Amino acid sequence: MDAGSYTGFEVAVFEPGIARILFNQPERLNGMSAPMKRDLVEILLQAQLDNAVRVVVFTGTGRAFCAGDDLKGYAKTGAEDGLVPPIPPGHDTAIGTYDGLRGISQPVNRAVRALDKLSIAALNGIAIQTGFSLALACDFRLAARSARMGSATLRFGLLPDEGGQYLLVQHLGVARAMDFMMRKRIVDAETALELGLVHEVTEDADLEKRAMALAGELANGPQVSMRLLKRSIYNAAELGFDQALDEIAAKTAITDHHADAREGVIAFREKREPRFNAWLESD
């Protein structure tokens, strides 16, 4: 994938295969526009297909991770430094809103969840609505102690239209998701940890270091097995037991015969740490 600046974010790639997507509009609390969302979907497709990328980290600048949609800038149709050409802004009619959500907004979280590489949201500050649902779509969430997060769309009479209700039910269950959304809750990092919405809370100054350390740990693991296991875990949440057994058997037929599995067995016998991912390092 190409490092550089895009609409509303910049991309950098660090060894061993960690792509950091940094939201860089702090003056707008890193609010998202339609062009930004379209660039995000494209850059995630690049990450999916680039063997040099193993883990994707999302984080923000300033006091927000992402405070929802940038309502003032949302109607913009494109950006000079963007990856994709301009399109009509949409949302001008009921069917236009339906089409816009399906074609622009919802594909971001779908792309995050569909990404076979593991993803981390490093919540440096406020994560509301769009930013909150993006964090929930990631595989891991680390929060700075000053971070606050929630949906709160009902405060404006709006709905969590980017899949936030689905993601929150997966994390909290129906009863607690109902309470969280209907009561328009915005919680601090410690409360989010207690609820299971984040995996770890760090001091603000330590967030980047902890996120990159986790990314490095994940990037050094056996990538084929980890990517297939990620997909299998998400599938298991929606499959019956017999279907889940068949699904994991099909994936195991791949991983059991992969070079990483052979290396894992040899390393165990030799009482050393395995050296996975030779297939990537030879590219």
User: Are 103 and 117 found together in one domain?
Assistant: yes
The CATH number that applies at residue 277 is 1.10.12.10
More confident residue, 78 or 84: 84
Which residue range forms the structural domain that includes residue 253?
A: 223-281
- Residues facing 150 on adjacent strands: 128, 186
Produce one character per residue of 253-283: b if its CB has 16 or more CB atoms within 10 Å, e if not: eebeebebbebbeeeeeeeeebebbeebeee
> For residue 16, is the peptide bond before it cis, meaning its omega torsion is within 30 degrees of 0?
yes
The model's pTM: 0.93
Residue 77: the pLDDT is 55
- Residues facing 56 on adjacent strands: 19, 119
User: Are 209 and 241 found together in one domain?
Assistant: no
Q: What is the pLDDT of residues 205-223, one digit of tens each?
A: 999 999 999 999 999 999 9
Residue 70: the pLDDT is 86
Reference 117, options 280, 268, 259; nearest CA is 280
In the chain, how many domains are there?
Answer: 2
User: Are 125 and 234 found together in one domain?
Assistant: no
User: Are 132 and 257 found together in one domain?
Assistant: no
- What's the mean pLDDT when you consider all of the chain? 93
Would you say residue 265 has pLDDT above 60? yes
pLDDT band (50, 70, 90) for residue 175? very high
Q: Which of 219, 247, 263 is the last residue of a domain?
A: 219
Do the beta carbons of residue 218 and residue 149 sit within 8 Å? no
The CATH number that applies at residue 122 is 3.90.226.10
Do the beta carbons of residue 125 and residue 146 sit within 8 Å? yes
pLDDT band (50, 70, 90) for residue 73? low
Average pLDDT for 246-255: 96
More confident residue, 60 or 90: 60
Would you say residue 283 has pLDDT above 60? no
Residue 78: the pLDDT is 56
Would you say residue 90 has pLDDT above 80? no
Give the span between the Cα atoms of 115 and 223, in whole angstroms: 13
User: Are 80 and 209 found together in one domain?
Assistant: yes
User: Are 205 and 272 found together in one domain?
Assistant: no
pLDDT band (50, 70, 90) for residue 85? confident
User: Are 165 and 277 found together in one domain?
Assistant: no
Reference 123, options 101, 156, 147; nearest CA is 147
User: Are 72 and 188 found together in one domain?
Assistant: yes
Q: Which of 219, 237, 272 is the last residue of a domain?
A: 219
Retrieve residue 28's tokens.
């707008």
Strand, helix or coil at 123?
A: strand
Helix then strand then coil, % of the chain, to nearest 5: 50, 15, 35
Q: What is the pLDDT of residues 17-43, one digit of tens each?
A: 999 999 999 999 999 999 999 999 999
Q: Which of 172, 199, 219 is the last residue of a domain?
A: 219
Q: What is the pLDDT of residues 99-155, one digit of tens each?
A: 888 999 999 999 999 999 999 999 999 999 999 999 999 999 999 999 999 988 888
Q: What is the pLDDT of residues 154-172, one digit of tens each?
A: 888 889 889 999 999 999 9
Reference 37, options 4, 9, 65; nearest CA is 9
Angle at 115 between CA 198 and CA 102, to 5 degrees: 90
User: Are 31 and 75 found together in one domain?
Assistant: yes
User: Are 215 and 227 found together in one domain?
Assistant: no
Helix spans in the chain (H): 34-49, 94-100, 106-114, 130-137, 164-172, 174-182, 189-195, 207-219, 223-236, 241-255, 259-269, 278-281
Give the span between the Cα atoms of 186 and 192, in whole angstroms: 9
Would you say residue 227 has pLDDT above 90? yes
Categorise residue 187: left if φ over 0, alpha if ψ from -120 to 50, beta otherwise. beta
Q: How far is CA 83 from the centre of its chain?
A: 20
Would you say residue 282 has pLDDT above 80? no
